[in-house]
A = this chain, B = another copy of it.
Amino acid sequence: METVAFNVEELRNDFPILSKKFNGKTLAYLDNAATSQKPRQVIKAICDFYEGYNANIHRGVYEIEEKATMKYERTREATSRFIGAESAEQIIFTRNTTESINLVAKTWGASNIRKGDKIVVSLLEHHSNVVPWQVLAKEKGALLEYINLKEDSTIDLDDFKEKIAGAKLLAITQASNVLGTLVPVKQMTSIAHQEGCTVLVDGAQSAPHMPVSMTDIGCDFFAFSSHKMLGPTGVGVLYGKREILDAMPPYNLGGDMISEVHKWDVTWNELPWKFEAGTSNIADVIAYYHAIEYLQRLGMERVREHEKSLTKYALKRLSEIKGLRYYGPDDIEMRGGIISFTLGDVHPHDIASILSREAIAIRSGYHCAQPLHEELSLGGTARASFYIYNTEEEVDRLAEALNEVRKVFAK
């Protein structure tokens, strides 16, 4: 695939929402860890489908149905290439990262985790990569262990090595959605595999922002969401090693995921369809192709570079604000483009509400990572998170507005 120049001002033109006015101001969208904005290429693909070849897939033999089937499967190929998977059959489309992880917990987990087994997660995990394991552990009488963090907000690898001994599953995020911390999942996977431990990597915050490669990381499962990487809502991805997926029982049961159904028994379809029951989110999977293509043309290395330099600038600007404290690694090599912070004792919701009047969108609360907030004794944080279309000028607006917030709430 040919790459194009990484020109932020130019690529902003591809995002219709960024040229709209809110309260007379351009939107500074800094909530990309929650969901990203979408380029017109993606939006257009949805319209093109519904206006030109909307049909159900995989079963019919008329023209538009065949086109829809081909485009749907094309996204699978592209996704497979994007994450450096061995083959397209190992790409399963779900609704979101959460469903991808639950699919593993309810199928692989239910048939492989037994009483006394150890499941290891980290303190960085999003609820979606905690709760399924918490509940599975309770159901099975298994143990759940949390890998600690070091002072600098990175994974404590000594603690990891201790806890991984004899573990059955490591479920770990590649990038924290609160602290921005990047996790050395390749190194950890190789250590876990020496213990005979299966590894699931939550790529929700990594796949959109940096190059990832399944054959390089070597993990057994990898989960992420289209909506956080320029694609539509309603599409998630689960990658799995082929032997493991083959051995797994299916999740949802019904149309499309079966091969034959008789009154008293049924045979499952082949990979990947075994895991895709009922009518898929056809339009959005088809449109997701254009999100992947968009990112690939920019080049994931350059996406990472852009975010790195923006994050560096933002950390500098934010640290100039009185009473502001940000969390996560100081070392820019160890963090993604996510900055969580507090501002004196101003409640994060109040910060976000006031920023909203300035058309600056940030998030506030626990960011679905309550255990981490409890560990750090934080009531909640405000969070700014960046993507390809964000600029230093937007960071400046953020810093100015935060200074205003400080004034409004000065006692």
- Contacting residue for A134 out of B266, B355, B356, CB 8 A: B266
In chain A, positions 82-139 with a C-beta closer than 8 Å to chain B are 95-99, 101-102, 105-106, 126-132, 134-135
In the complex, which residues 258-277 of chain A have their Cβ closer than 8 Å to any Cβ of chain B? 258, 260-266, 277
| A199 contacts chain B at the CB level, 8 A cutoff | no
Instruction: Take A132-B253, A255-B126 as given contacts and tell me if A50 and B38 are in contact as well, using a CB distance cutoff of 8 Å.
Output: yes
Asked whether A27 is an interface residue with its Cβ less than 8 Å from the other chain, the reply is yes
The reply to whether the CB of A227 lies closer than 8 angstroms to some CB of chain B is yes
**Neighbour of A17 across the interface among B50, B131, B258, B278, CB < 8 A:** B50
For window 207-263 of A, CB contacts with B under 8 Å fall at 225, 227, 232-236, 251-256, 258, 260-263
A281 at the interface (CB under 8 A from B): yes
A235 to chain B, nearest CB (A): 8
Assess the A356–B37 pair: CB atoms within 8 A: no
In the complex formed, the residue of B with least CB distance to A36 is B54
Determine whether the beta carbon of B253 is less than 8 Å from that of A102. yes
The reply to whether B99 and A252 contact each other, CB–CB distance below 8 Å, is yes
**Contact mask for chain A residues 32-68; partner B; CB cutoff 8 A; 1 contact, 0 none:** 0011011000110011001111111001111111000
Which A residues contact B (CB, under 8 angstroms)?
16-17, 20, 22-23, 27, 31, 34-35, 37-38, 42-43, 46-47, 50-56, 59-65, 95-99, 101-102, 105-106, 126-132, 134-135, 144, 146, 225, 227, 232-236, 251-256, 258, 260-266, 277-284, 349, 352-353, 355-356, 359-365, 368, 370-371, 374-375
B31, B50, B370: which contacts A43 (Cβ < 8 A)?
B50
Q: Report the separation of the CA atoms of residues A219 and B34 in the bound assembly, to the nearest whole angstrom.
A: 37
A103 to chain B: closest residue by CB: B252
Interface CB pairs A-B, < 8 A, 10: A27-B64, A37-B54, A38-B50, A62-B361, A102-B251, A102-B253, A225-B279, A233-B281, A233-B282, A234-B280
Q: Smallest CB–CB gap between A364 and chain B, Å?
A: 6
**Contact indicator B349/A128 (Cβ below 8 Å):** no
15 extra interchain contacts, Cβ-Cβ under 8 A, other than A38-B54, A59-B365, A95-B234? A31-B60, A35-B56, A61-B349, A62-B353, A95-B95, A97-B254, A97-B279, A99-B278, A102-B277, A128-B253, A128-B277, A131-B258, A233-B279, A234-B283, A263-B375
> A38-B54, A262-B371 given as contacts; is B284 within 8 A of A59 (CB)?
no
Expressed in whole angstroms, the Cα–Cα distance for A97 and B225 within the complex equals: 22
Q: CA A38 – CA B35 in complex, angstroms?
A: 26
State the main secondary structure of chain A at its contact with B.
mixed
User: In the complex, are the beta carbons of B352 and A60 less than 8 A apart?
Assistant: yes
A98/B278 in contact, CB under 8 A? yes
Copies in the complex: 2
Q: What separation, in Å, do the CA atoms of A98 and B365 have in the docked complex?
A: 34
Q: For the complex, what is the distance from the CA of A363 to the CA of B65, rounded to whole Å?
A: 10
When distances are taken between beta carbons in the complex, the residues of chain B under 8 Å from A42 are 50
Residues on B with beta carbons closer than 8 Å to the beta carbon of A361: 55, 60, 62-65
Distance from A409 Cβ to chain B, minimum over Cβ atoms (Å): 16
A278 vs B193: C-alpha distance when bound (angstroms): 29
Closest to A261 in B: B370
Measured CA separation A7–B42 after assembly (Å)? 34
Q: Which of B27, B128, B227, B255 contacts A368 (CB 8 A)?
A: B255
B62 near A34 with CB under 8 A, answer: no
Q: Which residues of B contact A280 (CB under 8 A)?
A: 95, 233-234
Among B38, B363, B375, the residue within 8 A (CB) of A59 is B363
| Residue from the list B235, B284, B352 in contact with A61, Cβ < 8 A | B352
